[in-house]
Structures are given as structure tokens and as C-alpha cells.
Amino acid sequence: MPRLLARLAALLVFAVAATRPLTAQGAASPAAPAAERAPAAEPAHEGAAPQEGAHAAKEEHTDIITPHITDAHAIDVPTIFPPFVKEVELPRWAPVHVGSFEIDFSPTKHVVMLLLAALIVCTVLILVARSQARDHDQFGHAKGWAGGVEAMVLYLRNTVILPNVGPHGNAFVPFLLTLFFFILTANMLGLIPYGSTATGNISVTATLALITFVVVEVAGMRAQGMGYLNTIFFWPHDMSLGMRIPMFLIISPIEMVGKITRPFALAIRLFANMTAGHIVVLAFIGLIFFFKSYAIAGGPFVMAVAIMFLELFVAVLQAFVFTLLASVFIGQVRAAHH
């Protein structure tokens, strides 16, 4: 540990020394500490001083965050030449008119990421299932990677899905597990280089939430039959007719809004969580270029790394929360009796 501290200190000294030429044009006194001089450099940058030239003026308007968190009709592929990235344009198809809507079915970056996630998740889980079956025959239980995935699956099934979904919950296990692993993989793909977070796109999360909504409502219909209508229309049987009608008129809209709120919350939660983390990471990285100082760079850099670790956790957590809430909603609608 002391050795690491010594190295860090040496790095810091080097960084301060290296800032001198940078800050020299900031017109501050050379003796002042680098950290104090950095803000002094800021107005010069902000104001697009003429001596900084067209390059600085162009950079000023650069938004590195929005392209990263939004969809595009191009994907970033790695190359060995600087800047180590190449934009590959995806094919554009003519929009299709469905009624009054115009839908563009051309593949986008997030479609590619979703396909990649689908490919990864299918490959990994099918291989796991195979190796698990083999190990099961040979040793009676799964080993290694398959054992780990099996433990995750079993954890989700036994402590998240089955207790929440209620009796005969096994029918919902494949759907909810698919949700978890698909969202998890899509979340993770946003964290690797050249990746993009498809689950940070409201269209993707809204679709997943809509699928969940349909599953929840169909589960309610199958479990309750005609009683399902009671989860939409409030019609209390233990009240007099005089009370029942006003109660119906007041409470029914609330029930309906409650139904719609769930998928809405699911979609917004996942979208906002995945987007926010990336914005924070990029904001920290942006600070480095904003201040143009090696002395300042260390702080945002460490923070960006820390936020990346937090993002790893959030990627798992949000996949888990989506699955958990879907299980809870299914359980609620199946058990509901008003």
C-alpha cells in the first residue's frame, strides 16, 4: 500500500509539472498551484479567445454525451488505427406507413446491440444448459460456469419468482428468466467499449414493459376469469346501490391508471437508470477536456472509474428489479380480489 501511495504521489508531481506548458497560456502566475490556475484557463476557453483558433471554437460546441446515449443509424466498430473507432453506416430502408403512422424499420445501433445481446444470451444459456445436463449425468450437479448460472437461475426461481407469482408459478419462470438475462446482457453491453446501452432507450424499455404488461394482464385473465374485470372496474358488492355507483365512477379510473402506471414505471425506471449512469460517466470524462489540465484530470478520472463500477452494479440491479417487479405484478393480478 505505501508503495502504491508513493507511485500515486510521483504521478501527481509529474502531472503538476506537465501542466506548466498548458497553463502558461492561461496568463496566470507560474508560481501558483496548478489547481488554482485551472479555473483561470476556463474563461479563455469559454470565450473562444481568438488566439486559440478555429479548433477550440469547434470543440466548444461538441456534445460527447448525446451521441453516446442516443440511437443512431451507424455503429462504432473497433479499428487498430487512431482514433481506434470507425463508424459503419447501417442500411436505411424507406419508412413504412401504417395507417397515419410512419414507421422506420431500418436497423439502428440499438437494434444491433439487442441482436448482439440476444445472440450472447442464447449462446451462453444454451451452452450452460448443455454443460449442466452433462455434468448432471456425470456428477449429479452442475460445475463451474454452468453451476454459477444455475445458481443464479435457481435463486431467481426460488426466492424471486415462485414466492411472488404464487401457486403454479412455474409457467412464468422461463419468461421472467428471459427478461432478466436479456436485460442484464443488454445493460452490460453498454458498459463494454464500442457498446451502446439499448436498455437506455425508451423504445426498448417501453416495449419490454408492454410485453410484461400483456403477460401480467393475460395471467390475470387466466387466473381470475370473469373476476379479472374487478381489477379494472370497481364494483363493491357489499355496498348499497346508491354508494356503489359513485364509488364505481370515482375508483374505476384510479384502478385503470394503476394498471397503466406499472408498465410505465418499469419502462422509465430502466431507461432512466441506464441513461443516467452513462451521462454521469461522460460528464466526468468531459470535465477533463473542459479544464484541459492534467492536475484536474485525476479527480474526474477516478470518479469516472468509480461510477463505472457503480454502473456494473446498477446493470445487474436494474435487470433484477425489472424481473422482481414483473413477478410481483403477475402475483398481484393473479391474487387480486376486490
- For the segment 193-222, give every residue that binds other proteins (CB under 8 A): 193-196, 198, 201-204, 206-208, 210-211
Nearer to other proteins, 25 or 170 (CB): 170
Phi, psi torsion values for 28, nearest 5 degrees: -100, 170
- Please tell me whether residue 238 binds other proteins under the rule CB under 8 A: no
C-alpha cell at 308: 463505472
Amino acid 248 reads F
Q: Binding string, 166-195, against other proteins, x = CB under 8 A?
A: ----x--xxx-xx--xx--------xxxxx
- Please tell me whether residue 252 binds other proteins under the rule CB under 8 A: no
Nearer to other proteins, 25 or 79 (CB): 79
Closest to 35 (Cα-Cα) out of 45, 22, 48: 22
Asked if the peptide bond before residue 83 counts as cis, ω within 30 degrees of 0, the response is yes
Phi, psi torsion values for 97, nearest 5 degrees: -95, 115
**Residue of 83, 99, 225, 242 that binds other proteins (CB under 8 A):** 83
Window 133 to 162, contacts with other proteins (CB under 8 A):
133, 136, 140-142, 150, 153-154, 157
Nearer to other proteins, 121 or 165 (CB): 121
C-alpha cell at 151: 445458481
**Residue of 38, 121, 295, 324 that binds other proteins (CB under 8 A):** 121
Q: How many residues in the shown chain lie near other proteins by CB under 8 A? A: 85
Distance of CA 298 to the CA centre of its chain: 26
Nearer to other proteins, 36 or 104 (CB): 104
CB 271 within 8 A of CB 199: yes
Closest to 208 (Cα-Cα) out of 228, 184, 232: 184
Window 278 to 307, contacts with other proteins (CB under 8 A):
281-282, 285, 301, 304-305
Task: Identify any residues that bridge with 98 across adjacent strands, giving them in sequence order.
Answer: 101
